[in-house]
């Protein structure tokens, strides 16, 4: 089995190769060139080509490893070396020319996250983490923010866009967080959102429903930067789909209470 440093090198090589392709790709601005995976959920040939680039780099460098992702293999695998990949997180942003989309690659060994890499494609900004080795942005160490007072906190979120069965719950959560924090933002890429929590640009983040490939790399980034990533009950997340709550310890604690209960 390759070392964690070797795995990170493989992941960053794949992310940079895909990022270079995406930056050079022609954006299909005609919606007839978009493939609907669901309501307001699109894929393009750019997504698929990025997947092929990433898969080739990963499997050539680590023969016998598995690669999972929405277009690749959506079933979560927990045995051996598994790459959890989102080749273009924020496809809708990419399609509209909104500069917030990323390549996200994590490696897990027997279900335990070992390395993560998130490349903010328009900024060419690379965030990386190794379990037990800290989190970095373009090679410089990063930490979650020290802000403890929610009145000074900037919170990221993701709006429901496919499953609206809990929309009323989300809107009530949004109202409570908005009333307690200094601001709420929705860039539209969970990988970037979690990278921003890790670097202290966001103090916290929540979203009702995300897939493992949206958050695996970002989860490790936040944890290695000193933050927490859980579900809405406070249970620490593994490699899985579902709700996500992240933040520095103080803001995570406040968000956990605020999302679940009306403040006093």
Range list of H helices, 83-211: 91-96, 167-180, 190-198
Nearest to 83 by CA among 116, 128, 44, 49: 116
Radius of gyration of the chain (CA): 17
- Inter-axis angle of helices 190-198 and 212-224, to 10 degrees? 0
Domain identity same for 27 and 111: yes
> For the domain that residue 211 is a member of, what is the CATH number?
3.40.190.80
Is residue 103 within 8 A of residue 86, CB to CB? The reply is: yes
**Domain that includes residue 112, residue range:** 4-141
- For residues 85 and 211, the answer to whether their CB atoms sit within 8 Å is no
Residue 130 sits in the same domain as residue 160: no
H or E segment and range at residue 13: helix 4-24
Same domain, 132 and 167: no
The number of domains in the chain is: 2
Residues 59 and 18 in one domain: yes
What does the pLDDT read at residue 41? 43
DSSP letter at 75?
Answer: S
Choosing from 87, 120, 141, the residue where a domain stops is: 141
Q: What is the pLDDT of residue 30?
A: 65
CB 128 within 8 A of CB 136: yes
Residues 127 and 211 in one domain: no
Residues 74 and 191 reside in one and the same domain:
no
CA distance 122 to 31: 21
Beta bridge partners of 129: 116, 135
Task: Going residue by residue through the chain, which has 264 residues, state the pLDDT in tens, using 9 for 90 and above.
Answer: 689 999 999 999 999 999 999 999 887 766 655 555 544 444 678 888 999 999 999 999 999 999 999 766 667 778 899 999 999 999 999 988 999 999 999 999 999 999 999 999 999 999 999 999 999 999 999 999 999 999 999 999 999 877 778 899 999 999 999 999 999 999 999 999 999 999 999 999 999 999 999 999 999 999 999 999 999 999 999 999 999 999 999 999 999 999 998 554
What is residue 33's predicted lDDT score, i.e. its pLDDT?
Answer: 58
Task: Mark whether 93 and 194 lie in a shared domain.
Answer: no
Q: CATH no. for residue 121?
A: 3.30.540.10
| Same domain, yes or no: 8 and 101 | yes
* Alpha-carbon span 132 to 79, nearest angstrom: 21
pTM (predicted TM-score): 0.92
Q: Cβ distance 199 to 116 under 8 Å?
A: no
Same domain, 26 and 46: yes
Domain match, 177 and 122 both: no
């Amino acid at each position: 089995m390759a070392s964690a440093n070797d795995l990170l090198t493989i992941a960053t090589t794949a992310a940079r190769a895909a990022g270079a392709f995406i930056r050079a790709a022609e954006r299909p601005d005609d919606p007839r060139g978009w493939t609907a995976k669901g309501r307001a959920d699109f894929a393009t040939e750019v997504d698929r080509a990025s997947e092929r680039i990433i898969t080739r780099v990963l499997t050539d460098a680590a023969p016998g490893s598995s690669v999972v992702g929405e277009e690749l293999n959506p079933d979560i695998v927990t045995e051996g070396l598994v790459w959890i990949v989102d080749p273009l997180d924020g496809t809708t942003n990419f399609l509209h020319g909104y500069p917030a989309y990323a390549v996200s690659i994590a490696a897990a060994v027997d279900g335990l996250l070992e390395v993560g890499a998130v490349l903010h494609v328009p900024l060419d900004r690379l965030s990386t983490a190794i379990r037990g080795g800290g989190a970095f942005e373009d090679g410089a160490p990063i930490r979650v923010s020290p802000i403890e007072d929610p009145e000074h906190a900037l919170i990221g979120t993701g709006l429901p866009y496919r499953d609206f069965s809990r929309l009323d719950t989300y809107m009530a959560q949004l109202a409570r967080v908005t009333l307690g924090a200094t601001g709420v933002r929705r860039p539209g890429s969970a990988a970037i959102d979690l990278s921003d929590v890790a670097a202290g640009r966001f103090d916290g983040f929540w979203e009702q429903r995300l897939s493992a490939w949206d958050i695996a790399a970002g989860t490790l980034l936040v944890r290695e930067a000193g933050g927490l990533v859980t579900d809405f009950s406070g249970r620490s997340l593994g490699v899985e789909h579902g709700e996500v709550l992240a933040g520095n310890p103080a803001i995570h604690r406040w968000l956990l209470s605020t999302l679940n209960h009306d403040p006093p």
